[in-house]
A and B are shown apart, each in its own frame.
Chain A
Amino acid sequence: MPAETHVEQGPLDRAAIVTLVQERLAEILEIEPDAISEGDSFADDLDADSLALIELVEAIEEELSERSVGFRIDDEDLEDLKTVRDAVDYVHGRLG
């Protein structure tokens, strides 16, 4: 019997990833999700420091590990994630 590598759930489209990132980030920053736009810079627009970004990454990994076993955001890529869009595109690409 072949080993299962993925839990059978529907594909996560880009819009769903945007919602996921907004909701998790909103919890971390104690703001409303609709106050977060894709174009927002973590540091300049949202006052999210490096620790907040790590909280976001860990929350996304935990959420998505159910869909894709072992899903992980590489630490080396973290410093390239400057905006919400960067994070969404990264996750979308990794899930692709």
Chain B
Amino acid sequence: MTSPLLPVAVDAMGGDRAPAQIVAGARLAVADGIPVVLVGRPEELADVHDIEIIEASEVIAMDADPGASVRRMKDSSLVRAAEAVRDGRASAMVSAGNTGATMASALLRMGRLPGVARPAIATPLPIPGSTRRNVLLDAGANAECSPEMFVQFAEMGAIYARDRFGIAAPRVGLLSIGEEAGKGSPLVKEAYDLLADTAWQQQAGATFVGNVEGRDLMGDEADVIVTDGFTGNVALKTAEGVAKAVVKALLGAFDASDDAREGARLLAPDLLPLYATLDPDTVGGAALLGLKGVCIISHGSSSAVAVRNAIAVAAELVANDHIANLRAALGVAAD
């Protein structure tokens, strides 16, 4: 594995805690040996040290219409970051800003891989008590999907699982309302038939394991779980909400009495690593798959640590030739 020669372009203006936490995260990544270029308004970026800046005078707001914003704000930090990748000035882009606008910028400027109907958001899912992570896609890019898109999600998800988590032979499951083949909506049933075909599995080096259910998202039934973007986003937010609620309840219980606090102190060394697997800051963002470049979407409230981790994931995917691997799995020649 070689280090990327080109810097990762970081949208310095996107996110609830931009630009301070974004810049701080960039400095952490640089300290880890990852080259970074910040994209944004130089006069608003403090403490950048020696980090190069690509100037961008406009900022797409978190609640702005994605497509219209990318059209109208051609000098926005998001658009300029995507152009940096397109033009060979950066190896990848990272943003904690408007997710829809990030997708639109990357799609319109970097372009889709030929044959990809629509890019998908691939989100790592923690497996409590394990260092492994499952991959869920599409986690929200496409509310409505065709059965054929599910196969593309499976292909791209398998490659992502390999390049990101080193899973040599990913198992791909189809999210449904029952394990049995034939369970699910008409769309899911059609997708099942297409996913059961061995051709894509051989090309992607993956195995379709059939239907999986919501309870398997953080389990060991499949490494990659495919679904449409609406269902995926609901599932993701549900999992996040449940994890947060359980952690909050546990913290409350640990503070309920002197005995409980003493017990918590004894358990802390074993519980903290478990908490770390659930901490969103450690995830390293979600990847937008199906584009001609690497694009990592970090959570809107990303801290410096979250930004650093997202940059590290971007660099790792570049170093692992992720886009070339996607092309091979999808049967697409290089440009």
Interface residues of A (CB under 8 A from B): 29-30, 50-51, 54-55, 57-58, 75
Contacts and interface: CB of A to CB of B under 8 A. Distances in A.
Chain B, interface size category, equals 10 to 19
B115 interface: yes
Which 3 pairs from chain A and chain B are nearest by CB? A54-B67, A30-B117, A50-B67
A29 B146 CA distance: 12
B319 to A, nearest CB: 30
Contact of B104 (A30, A51, A57): A51
A94 B117 CA distance: 30
Contact of B115 (A30, A51, A54, A57): A30
Contact of B68 (A30, A55, A75): A75
Nearest to B143: A49
A54 B104 CA distance: 9
A54 B71 CA distance: 8
A57 B115 CA distance: 20
B79 to A, nearest CB: 11
A51 B117 contact: no
B28 interface: no
Interface string B62-99: 00001110111000000000000000000000000000
Contacts, number: 22
Interface of B: 66-68, 70-72, 104, 107-108, 115-117
Contacts of B68: 75
A45 B217 CA distance: 35
B108 A55 contact: yes
Contacts of A75: 68, 71-72
Contact of B107 (A29, A30, A51): A51
Contacts of B116: 30
Interface centre among A30, A50, A55, A58 (most CB of B within 10 A): A30
A54 B72 CA distance: 11
Contacts of A30: 115-117
15 contacts: A29-B117, A30-B116, A30-B117, A50-B67, A51-B107, A54-B67, A54-B70, A54-B104, A55-B107, A55-B108, A57-B71, A58-B108, A75-B68, A75-B71, A75-B72
A30 B117 CA distance: 6
A57 B67 CA distance: 11
A54 B117 contact: no
Contacts of B107: 51, 55
A35 to B, nearest CB: 14
Contacts of A55: 107-108
Nearest to A57: B71
A30 B115 CA distance: 6
A51 B107 CA distance: 9
A53 to B, nearest CB: 8
A25 to B, nearest CB: 13
B295 to A, nearest CB: 15
A9 B68 CA distance: 31
Contacts of B71: 54, 57-58, 75
B119 to A, nearest CB: 10
A29 B70 CA distance: 20
Nearest to B104: A51
A75 B68 CA distance: 8
Contacts of B115: 30
A54 to B, nearest CB: 5
A29 B72 CA distance: 23
Nearest to B116: A30
Contacts of B117: 29-30
Interface centre among B67, B70, B71 (most CB of A within 10 A): B67
A25 B271 CA distance: 53
Nearest to A27: B114
Contacts of A51: 66-67, 104, 107
A29 B115 CA distance: 9
A73 B71 CA distance: 10
A55 B72 CA distance: 14
Given A30-B117, A50-B67, 6 more contacts: A51-B67, A51-B104, A51-B107, A54-B104, A75-B68, A75-B72
